[in-house]
Structures are given as structure tokens and as C-alpha cells.
């Protein structure tokens, strides 16, 4: 339970630059300045980083995965521990997904019905059932500041007929979520999720149905699931102008620096992705001059900082040669120093976007990043498939 927060859920747009918006969202545990990137803490930890690291990187809000937290340590345990924030020592806001995305990615081990979805745990094979009401109760136990409705995310390539039926189910589930979680209960906001695959008519239909329900914000689900970058960007630009203007917009599981800038340009306010942390653990680091594969021999003797334009502990303290050594020697410290930098890079990107929108120079900022990270033929494989969890 949370003391009442004045203006809870209020989303204020302070400035715009084209479609891009500079806003703020009032949550029970702090005001989130948007556009914002949310690091992913799948099972109660943004991998290898402690809350101090996240603070130092400038994180305002992080994401937790309901499916994972439900299985381990368990949402009822979390409730008894005072919620996820207290459990993990993070005093700022948390957003949780509904767990649906993970369950639907367990392709062979789930059964969908009107009532919900049955699935087997990836940990011990035990059988579980998620209904809209159940995922609301779980997120209540987790105590996140922003909850997401249960939705079905259809696979890339699903046909028009299946996708149409699926979005209707997602709408019915969304209504049940709203009924199970009355507005601002426990100080927790609730967002709807727009589905409809890669059919514009279905996306519009999904949005129109969800817009009739009283949500605190809207997410775009089902992108970055295997489509090409032009397909994703096309759908994004088609959809955002149709979304309610006065509510926050969240593009789920996206993406690369260029994807995020494209989303901001289209008027999206919130992003999350495992890319910075997962790539950090693979030795792929984002810098002001492009991506650095730190394992490459060319960095063996490189005494310079990873990124001279970055103020993170990693860049202030260590050379590329040392970071390469740690990576090659498979030292645990490598994962942390790399993650700290990449998360800082993504949060700096969001901060710079906010400043640029305020100053009416967002297009120039975006162009600068495009010049650095110009999408190549393999650009869309950057993140690998979007699994929504950092595992």
C-alpha cells in the first residue's frame, strides 16, 4: 500500500518537437521524465548492476518481468517482503509486464483459452495458469508502479484471421484486467497494450477498442518480433498519431539506439530493452563513435577510455585494453563494467533526447546518432529476437 500521491498518473507534456514529446509521468514513487529508457531487471536484478550503479547511470524507472518474479522468488513472498522495490533495494519506480509475452514465447508448453493461458514453468516443468485477474493480483503483490494488462502477442507472420480473433481476446482480457484492478488501486497505474500484428486495420481496431477502457497509458506490443526495420518503423508511424495524445505511450521491448530515436520521433515516451545489458555481457559496447566489440585484438594495447564522451565509472577509470583483458579472461567484473557503460549510454541517449526536444533540435540529435549507427544490412539482428527478458 502506498500513501496517496497528488496527481497520480498525471502525464504532462512540457514541450514538443514535431511529433516528439517531452513529458513527465507521476507515479507513486517518483515523477518519470520522458522520453525514458527503462533497464530490464528480469528477476529482481538488472543483471550485474546494484541499485547504486543504476542511480549512477541515471535510471529513473526499471522493468521487472512478472512471469519470472511469479516463479522465483514468488509474488506472495515479494508481498510479504514489502514488494519488489524494497526487496531489491530500489527506491524509484518499477514497471512490470504482464508475463503474457514470456508465456506466449513458451510455444510448445502453453494452452490458450478464453479464460487465460496455461503454461509450464521453464524451471521445473510445473503447470500454472495466468488469467487477466491472476496477473493483476501478481502485479499487486509485486507492487510495481506501472502494471500491464495480459495480452496475446501473436507471432510474426500470423495471418489476418488469427490476428483479428487474437486482438479481440486481448481486448476482452484488457477489460477484465481493468475490472480486477480498479483505477489507481494501491497507487498502481495500469496500461493497455495495442496488438493487431502487422495489419494496420487490426492495429486501428485494437486501439479503438482499448481507448474505450480507462487506462493510464498505452503500450504498443508485438513489434520487434522478427519483422524488418522498415516494417516496424512503418507501423510505428502509422499508429502513434492515432493514439490518445494526453497519455503516455510505451513501445515494448524496443530497441537499438536508432529504434529508440525513431520511436521518440514518432511520439513514443517510454522504452525498455535487454539490449544494453545483454550486449554488454557479449562484449558489444555502445559509444559516441559507434559499436565497439571489446574482444577484438585491436584493443589489446589501447590505453584510451572506452568512450571519451561518457562520464560513467567504467569510462572514467579503465582503458579499453583492461576492458578487453577482463572480457577475454572471462572475469566477472567485465559484465558489470560493460553493463554499467551500456546502460549509461542508453540513459544518456534518452536524456539528450529530452534536452533536444525542449530546445527544438531533436532532428539534429537523431541525425547525429544515425551518422554513428547507420543501419547496415545486419542491423535488424542487433538485438536478436525480442524475448522481453534479460536471460
Interface residues with a second copy (CB under 8 A) are 43-45, 47-52, 72-73, 77, 80-81, 87-89, 300-301, 303, 313, 317-319, 321-322, 325-326, 328-329, 331-333, 335-337
Backbone torsion region of residue 97, taken as left when φ is above 0, otherwise alpha when ψ lies between -120 and 50, otherwise beta: beta
- CB of residue 278 vs a second copy: minimum separation in angstroms? 12
Q: Which residue among the candidates 53, 97, 259, 382 is catalytic per the annotation? A: 97
- CB of residue 87 vs a second copy: minimum separation in angstroms? 5
- CB of residue 117 vs a second copy: minimum separation in angstroms? 23
Pairing of strands 11-17, 20-27: antiparallel
CB 243 within 8 A of CB 219: no
- CB of residue 127 vs a second copy: minimum separation in angstroms? 21
Residue 351 DSSP SS3: helix
CB 85 within 8 A of CB 91: yes
Residue number with CB closer to a second copy (69 or 202): 69
Counting Cβ atoms within 10 Å, is residue 311 exposed (0-12), middle (13-18) or buried (19+)? exposed
- CB of residue 182 vs a second copy: minimum separation in angstroms? 29
Residue number with CB closer to a second copy (322 or 373): 322
Residue number with CB closer to a second copy (178 or 324): 324
Residue number with CB closer to a second copy (40 or 235): 40
- CB of residue 238 vs a second copy: minimum separation in angstroms? 39
Could you identify the residue written with the cell 502477442?
A: 153
How many angstroms separate the CA atoms of 80 and 288, rounded? 44
Q: Which residue among the candidates 75, 269, 272, 348 is catalytic per the annotation? A: 272
CA neighbor of 355 nearest in space, from 129, 93, 17: 17
Active site residue 55: no
Counting Cβ atoms within 10 Å, is residue 159 exposed (0-12), middle (13-18) or buried (19+)? exposed
Residue number with CB closer to a second copy (42 or 60): 42
Pairing of strands 217-220, 146-148: unpaired
Compute the C-alpha angle 171/173/179, nearest 5°. 105
Backbone angles phi, psi at 13, to 5 degrees: -95, 115
Active site residue 97: yes
Residue number with CB closer to a second copy (89 or 360): 89
Question: First-to-last CA distance in the chain?
Answer: 30
Q: Which residues are the active-site residues?
A: 97, 272
Amino acid at each position: 500500500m502506498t500513501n496517496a500521491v497528488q496527481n497520480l498518473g498525471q502525464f504532462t507534456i512540457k514541450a514538443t518537437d514535431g511529433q516528439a514529446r517531452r513529458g513527465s509521468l507521476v507515479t507513486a514513487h517518483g515523477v518519470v521524465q520522458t522520453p525514458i529508457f527503462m533497464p530490464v531487471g528480469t528477476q529482481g536484478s538488472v543483471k550485474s548492476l546494484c541499485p547504486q550503479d543504476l542511480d549512477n547511470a541515471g535510471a529513473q524507472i526499471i522493468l521487472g518481468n512478472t512471469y519470472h518474479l511469479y516463479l522465483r522468488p514468488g509474488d506472495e513472498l515479494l508481498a510479504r517482503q514489502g514488494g519488489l522495490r524494497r526487496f531489491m533495494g530500489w527506491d524509484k519506480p518499477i514497471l512490470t509486464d504482464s508475463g503474457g509475452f514470456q508465456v506466449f514465447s513458451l510455444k510448445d508448453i502453453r494452452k490458450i483459452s478464453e479464460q487465460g493461458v496455461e503454461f509450464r514453468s521453464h524451471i521445473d516443468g510445473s503447470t500454472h495458469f495466468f488469467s487477466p485477474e491472476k496477473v493483476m493480483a501478481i502485479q499487486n503483490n509485486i507492487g510495481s508502479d506501472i502494471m500491464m494488462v495480459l495480452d496475446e502477442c501473436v507471432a510474426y507472420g500470423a495471418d489476418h484471421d488469427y490476428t483479428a480473433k487474437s486482438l479481440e481476446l486481448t481486448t476482452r482480457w484488457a477489460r477484465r484486467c481493468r475490472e480486477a484492478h480498479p483505477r489507481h488501486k494501491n497507487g498502481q497505474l495500469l496500461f493497455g497494450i495495442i496488438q493487431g500484428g502487422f495489419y494496420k486495420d487490426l492495429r486501428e481496431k485494437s486501439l479503438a477498442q482499448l481507448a474505450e477502457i480507462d487506462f493510464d497509458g498505452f503500450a504498443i506490443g508485438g513489434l520487434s518480433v522478427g519483422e524488418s526495420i522498415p516494417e516496424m518503423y512503418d507501423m510505428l508511424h502509422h499508429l502513434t498519431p492515432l493514439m490518445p495524445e494526453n497519455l503516455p505511450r510505451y513501445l515494448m521491448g524496443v530497441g537499438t539506439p536508432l529504434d529508440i530515436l525513431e520511436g521518440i520521433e514518432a511520439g513514443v515516451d517510454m522504452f525498455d530493452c535487454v539490449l544494453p545489458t545483454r550486449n554488454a555481457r557479449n562484449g558489444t559496447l555502445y559509444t559516441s563513435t559507434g559499436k565497439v566489440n571489446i574482444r577484438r585484438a585491436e584493443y589489446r594495447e589501447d590505453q584510451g577510455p572506452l568512450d571519451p564522451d561518457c562520464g560513467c565509472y567504467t569510462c572514467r577509470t579503465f582503458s579499453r585494453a583492461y576492458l578487453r583483458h577482463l572480457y577475454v579472461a572471462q572475469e566477472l567484473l567485465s559484465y558489470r563494467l560493460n553493463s554499467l557503460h551500456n546502460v549509461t549510454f542508453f540513459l544518456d541517449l534518452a536524456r539528450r533526447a529530452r534536452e533536444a526536444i525542449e530546445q527544438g533540435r531533436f532532428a539534429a540529435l537523431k541525425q547525429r546518432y544515425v551518422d554513428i549507427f547507420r543501419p547496415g544490412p545486419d542491423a535488424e539482428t542487433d538485438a536478436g529476437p525480442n524475448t522481453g527478458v534479460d536471460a
